[in-house]
Amino acid sequence: DAGVIQSPRHEVTEMGQEVTLRCKPISGHNSLFWYRQTMMRGLELLIYFNNNVPIDDSGMPEDRFSAKMPNASFSTLKIQPSEPRDSAVYFCASTPGQPSYEQYFGPGTRLTVT
Amino acid sequence: AQSVTQLGSHVSVSEGALVLLRCNYSSSVPPYLFWYVQYPNQGLQLLLKYTTGATLVKGINGFEAEFKKSETSFHLTKPSAHMSDAAEYFCAVSFSGNTGKLIFGQGTTLQVKP
């Protein structure tokens, strides 16, 4: 298996632009997680899905952030409009659930908003 | 509610010395416990996990951890540090019946001095 795939790996954009991050989870995994990592705030859970349904989006910082999972093999995290404080590394992770719930992380997307 | 506390945001050891990274958890149900490692500019990678059974678990790269229920701890150890062990380490907790959400600690950066 190729593991969790994220694209793009790097994104540089200007403030006010729309940004879309993409994630392909490992085939057969039934839960998908979006995290944000910064030096100041560490690793934060933004939202997660179980069987393509959003379960907990309490970590989404603002209405500018939205996430979708239209099918079991694809998810997007969108920021519109982007701001410099959104600059971070965004990770996607998936898990098969039972029996151990270990999460498999993608390589991350490094977002820079200027 | 579940929580994880990692004692010490930075730990420095000499090459060849014992590595001890501390993790304490809080959980009202039997926990599943994990240690992840993150090398620079990479995603998180599972080092080891405890779900049930033997309380001393061995992971990759010579690391091991022991689940101590009475102390609510899951400390990570390695007998002899190697320069390649320099990374950030995260402890995390989950539980059976959860949809796979992990509660992460704040992370501990391990520095290995020659």
Q: pLDDT digit string (tens) for B56-82?
A: 999 999 999 999 999 999 999 999 999
Q: Which runs of E-coded beta strand occur in chain B?
A: 3-7, 10-14, 19-26, 31-38, 44-50, 56-58, 64-68, 73-78, 87-95, 103-104, 108-113
What would the two tokens of residue B24 be?
A: 């304490």
- Per DSSP, the three-state class of B39 is coil
Task: Report pLDDT for A47.
Answer: 96
| Region of poorest pLDDT, from A8-12, B80-84, B102-106 | B102-106
A71: contact with B, CB 8 A cutoff: no
pLDDT in tens, B38-55: 999 899 999 999 988 899
Say whether pLDDT at A59 is over 70. Answer: yes
- Give just the sign of the alpha carbon dihedral A93, B27, A61, B37: negative
Q: What is the mean pLDDT of residues A8-36?
A: 96
CB contact under 8 A, B99 and A100: no
Of A95, A114, A101, A109, the residue nearest A27 (C-alpha) = A95
Cβ atoms of residues B31 and B93 within 8 Å:
yes
Q: What is the dihedral of CA B9, A21, A93, A54, to 10 degrees?
A: 110
CB contact under 8 A, B104 and A43: yes
Share of chain A above pLDDT 70, in %: 96
Task: Report pLDDT for A1.
Answer: 66
Of A45, A49, A59, the residue nearest A91 (C-alpha) = A45
Tell me which chain B residues have a C-beta less than 8 angstroms from the C-beta of A100: 32, 49, 51
Q: Which residues, 6+ apart, have CB-to-CB distance to B53 below 8 Å?
A: none
A42: contact with B, CB 8 A cutoff: yes
Widest Cα–Cα separation across chain B: 45
Segments in B48-114 forming alpha helices (H) = none
Cβ atoms of residues A8 and A20 within 8 Å:
no
Task: Report pLDDT for A18.
Answer: 97
A48: contact with B, CB 8 A cutoff: yes
